[in-house]
Amino acid sequence: MYRNILQGKRIAITALELEQKEHRGLAVLSKSLIELFNKYGAEVYLITSFNTFRLRRNNRKMVKKLIDEIFIADICNNLEKGFSYREEFNSNNIYKFKLIFNLLLEVFALYFKNFSLKKKFFRLSQIHKDINIFSQRLSYLNDVKGFIFVKQIFNLCRLRSMRLILKNPKLTISKKDIDLIITTCPLSLINRDKNSAKIVQIINDIIPIQVSSHPENPVVFYNRLSDAHLSKTFYISKATQSNAKGILGIDNISNTNEILYPLPSIKIDQLSKAVRISSIREIKDPFILFNSSIVERKRVELTINFFNSSELPKRNFKLLIAGKIHATDYCSYIKKMCEKNNKIILLDYVSELEKVWLFLNASLLISTSSSEGFGIPILDAGSLNLPVLASNIPSHLEIKNLTNSQKITLLDIKNEKPWIKHLSDLDIFDNKNENNKLLRIKHFKESLESLEFEALGKIQKLISN
């Protein structure tokens, strides 16, 4: 593929999920897009609400020449630490008071500016990157050309989603500066200016409406979803497209150009490192892998029951569960299920390198999820040609067709017997033979190029229209 297909193009991506303390599915999507655009020649800018915490309003004029340097350092620092807005708001009264006061000021300013958001550009030099990027968490900034700071952009969008302000905030950036703006989740954000960069909003799922335990208010999310459709939209799967348009009562769901499939979360450089590692966390036995945050809709208890009922424990297999363990009743239940069972290991959060090693060395990936917007772990496994046993939900079927993988088996989670039989009949993956792992890497590179080609074609079409 032509390496500089996006040469000279400038794309801005919202950083809402990258600002969070925990990087989950949407953060993976953001990082993948950033890497893709940079890889094929585009300049990528991150739209962030993170402010400088070392400069006060009254001393900015005194250090005017230093403002950019201080801003960049502080944005990087904030992205490194991450922030849990919901948790902080609910537990810290001082933060809550300051936020409400500052938002009131910003809302008054927004009314006077006809709801137009003010922005400021910062360019990242190699020196900035050398000084501030010191962990794997921030490695995506190596593919970023700069930041676009928009004060309180995500909180103001949320106020509109809550219908506490009259109109959607407007983000207008001249086409001379930016060719395309992408939001990696639905936002109450709009742009009607023909001379400004087009906004494209990515719709990932409608899970906050479907799942009762989700922290997002369903009505607020519905408003976000509705407002996002005032702009051009992409859906990450046909299943998400059908669900979202069904909820909103929008016709014409057959437009396949509206689908932008996510890219695998696994990186080539991490695969190159992982292939040289013999073991992590003293894992020696053959294993099957469950890779996802531990939440109810993932139906982790089914995975555990299917594994325990199969012949795998007798064959010295382990079940490795790699995913964030939250302070919830459900996670307590899962931990209790695994007590005194030395065949099941709860790994909790794993680093990127550990995750890649697990995928590269697993005999099978299992997913008993009852609902997904897409299903990145299944895509990762399919791209590696790693055998998959997963629930037969629509998004998993899409991934099977997308990767054209013969090793993805989809089953009904209500019928346990086929699951147990497939697990019992599983072949051991010989990870001691390096050629086996190299074959997986070769398959992954071929799959990745095909997925990149499809995504780039849709982005290039958007920019040229």
Least confident of 190-194, 253-257, 353-357, 388-392: 253-257
Bridge partners of residue 48, in order along the sequence: 149
pLDDT for position 383:
95
pLDDT for position 193:
86
Q: How far is the C-alpha of 260 from the C-alpha of 124, rounded, in Å?
A: 28
Helix (H, G, I), strand (E, B) or coil at 261: coil
45 DSSP 8-state letter: E
Bridge partners of residue 322, in order along the sequence: 291, 348
Number of other residues whose CB lies within 10 A of the CB of residue 355: 23
Give tens-digit pLDDT for 382-393: 999 999 999 999
437 DSSP 8-state letter: H
pTM of the shown model: 0.89
pLDDT of 18 higher than 50:
yes
pLDDT for position 253:
44
Q: How far is the C-alpha of 115 from the C-alpha of 337, rounded, in Å?
A: 52
Would you list the domain boundaries of the chain?
Answer: 10-258, 268-447
Least confident of 47-56, 166-175, 270-279, 414-423: 47-56
pLDDT for position 60:
62
2 DSSP 8-state letter: -
Q: How far is the C-alpha of 171 from the C-alpha of 12, rounded, in Å?
A: 11
pLDDT for position 256:
40
Comparing 377 with 89, which gets the higher pLDDT? 377
Fold of 268-447: Rossmann fold (3.40.50)
Among the listed residues 372, 381, 374, 442, the one whose alpha carbon sits nearest the alpha carbon of residue 409:
381
Q: Name the burial class of residue 406, with classes exposed (0-12), middle (13-18) and buried (19+) by CB atoms within 10 angstroms of its CB.
A: exposed
pLDDT of 255 higher than 50:
no
194 DSSP 8-state letter: T
- Kindly list the distances between the CA atom of residue 105 and the CA atoms of 99, 108, 149, 156, in Å, as whole numbers in the listed order: 10, 5, 18, 11
pLDDT of 367 higher than 50:
yes
Q: How far is the C-alpha of 331 from the C-alpha of 317, rounded, in Å?
A: 23
- Direct distance between the N- and C-terminal alpha carbons of the chain, in angstroms, rounded to an integer: 22
CB 396 within 8 A of CB 378: yes
Give tens-digit pLDDT for 423-447: 999 999 988 888 999 999 999 999 9
- What would you report as the CA-atom Rg of the chain, rounded to the nearest whole angstrom? 23
Q: How far is the C-alpha of 455 from the C-alpha of 449, rounded, in Å?
A: 10
Give tens-digit pLDDT for 321-343: 998 888 899 999 999 999 989 99
Give tens-digit pLDDT for 75-117: 999 999 988 777 777 777 888 888 888 899 999 999 999 999 9
Among the listed residues 291, 279, 276, the one whose alpha carbon sits nearest the alpha carbon of residue 347:
291
pLDDT band for 249, please (50, 70, 90 cuts).
Answer: confident
pLDDT of 64 higher than 70:
no
Bridge partners of residue 319, in order along the sequence: 288, 344
Q: How far is the C-alpha of 323 from the C-alpha of 447, rounded, in Å?
A: 25
Give tens-digit pLDDT for 282-321: 899 999 999 998 999 999 999 999 999 999 999 999 999 9
Q: Name the burial class of residue 77, with classes exposed (0-12), middle (13-18) and buried (19+) by CB atoms within 10 angstroms of its CB.
A: middle
Q: How far is the C-alpha of 181 from the C-alpha of 197, rounded, in Å?
A: 6
Number of other residues whose CB lies within 10 A of the CB of residue 290: 26
Q: What are phi and psi of 146, to 5 degrees?
A: 180, 180
Comparing 61 with 388, which gets the higher pLDDT? 388
pLDDT of 139 higher than 70:
yes
pLDDT band for 252, please (50, 70, 90 cuts).
Answer: low
Q: Name the burial class of residue 49, with classes exposed (0-12), middle (13-18) and buried (19+) by CB atoms within 10 angstroms of its CB.
A: buried
